[in-house]
Amino acid sequence: MGTGAIVTLVIVAVVVVILVILAITSYNGLVRLRNAYKNAFAQIDVQLTRRHDLIPNLVETAKGYIQHERQTLEAVIAARGGAVSAQDAARQNPGDPGAMQNLSGAENMLTQTLGRLFALSEAYPDLKANQNMMQLSEELTSTENRVAFARQGFNDSVMVYNNKREVFPSNIVAGMFGFRPAALLEVDSPETREVPRISF
């Protein structure tokens, strides 16, 4: 074998080694970023569970004061049920576009029905002054802030992951190994981006 053939073999071997290292590095990076956004979703999950757990107590407290407003109370309970179901589905596959869209819609519906409950409660001074209602409202406000913070962390992680899976050479590895795009958890309208105003 001549020196030219040996040099060619060495160059080919070096190129193959570099390509293998790039593929391994890209794959491991995608796995780490996917795990990061799943962990970020787990933080949202904790806060949403806390939010959902507060609502039955809130409704039970309000029930004694606004019994003839049963439709509003039932709407809150129904919206909570929908949000819990959507959360369970999203927990199974964080980042899935359908699951994130359903979760977003269900949480928006819950926020809207809670807003109606709080607006209605303004007309009931005894309910507004109830110590339990005041405490639950404060906890709910705090939880809403935590949900917003956790959602921002999740969306940031999803963006980093999606950027990584779209850039070269990671996009080749992502396609070969089935790394699908992840969806953000977005709030549909500017009105629901704000934490519900709760003043007791």
**pLDDT (average), residues 194-200:** 48
For residue 138, is it within any domain? yes
The pLDDT value recorded for residue 118 is 86
Helix, strand or coil, per DSSP, at residue 42: helix
pLDDT tens-digit map of 10-38: 999 999 999 999 999 999 999 999 999 99
For residue 54, is it within any domain? yes
For residue 113, is it within any domain? yes
Domain count along the chain: 1
Mean pLDDT for the chain? 89
For residue 4, is it within any domain? no
Place of tokens 């309910």: 127
Q: Which has the higher per-residue pLDDT, 188 or 106? A: 106
For residue 10, is it within any domain? no
Handedness of CA 124, 129, 130, 135 (dihedral sign): positive
The pLDDT value recorded for residue 192 is 44
For residue 12, is it within any domain? no
CA distance 167 to 162: 9
pLDDT of 194 strictly over 70 = no
The pLDDT value recorded for residue 188 is 57
* Domain residue limits at 112: 33-164+184-193
For residue 25, is it within any domain? no
Residue 101 is part of a domain; what is its CATH number?
1.20.1440.20
pLDDT tens-digit map of 111-152: 999 988 888 888 888 887 788 888 888 999 899 999 999 999
For residue 128, is it within any domain? yes
Query: Do 51 and 185 touch, CB atoms closer than 8 A?
Result: no
CA distance 188 to 144: 16
